[in-house]
Amino acid sequence: MHLPLLLLALATSTLAAPTTKYHPTPPTPYNYIAQTKASGIATHLAKRTTGGVTLSDGVGFTGDVWYGVLPLAECIALNSYAGDLGSFQPDEGLECYLGKCNDDEDFADLFNNSSEDCDLPAAYPWIGKVESFMCFTQIDTGISDK
């Protein structure tokens, strides 16, 4: 008698469990995408990578958070995160351009600074158009930005 009631309670709690937003494809270098589509497999040598980026679809790194180390000076496709960024933070020593990897388009210049806010409010008119980013190592010129 208690078994059907137990099974019903278990099924109800399983179906009512909260789900998280799923981003099936993390950011990917454009060269890799082109090579994979052309040949069916990736056969190129990987560039040396240093540093990484943390990004999220929620403000304040809430929601779906992703971290990865990707090639420098190479356009990286945001894939499922395109137009859905809430936060973006490069690792220390990196500077990133967030936009469309096209110098004819508007972009945001972001770098690691623990005192700087890394949230990307949806109120920015360009945030919905962001499709990619490109990161570089920062050059220390000895000149203060302040």
Per-residue pLDDT reduced to its tens digit, 47-106 = 554 678 988 888 888 888 899 998 888 889 898 888 888 888 888 888 888 887 765 655
Whether the model pTM is above 0.75? no
**Cβ 118 vs Cβ 87: under 8 Å:** yes
DSSP 81: G
Q: Are 133 and 88 contacting, i.e. CB atoms less than 8 angstroms apart?
A: yes
Q: Fold for 48-140, please state it.
A: Gamma-B Crystallin; domain 1 (2.60.20)
- DSSP-derived letter for residue 119 is B
Q: Please, what sign has the CA dihedral across residues 29, 35, 38, 39?
A: negative
Alpha helices in the chain (DSSP H): 2-15, 30-39
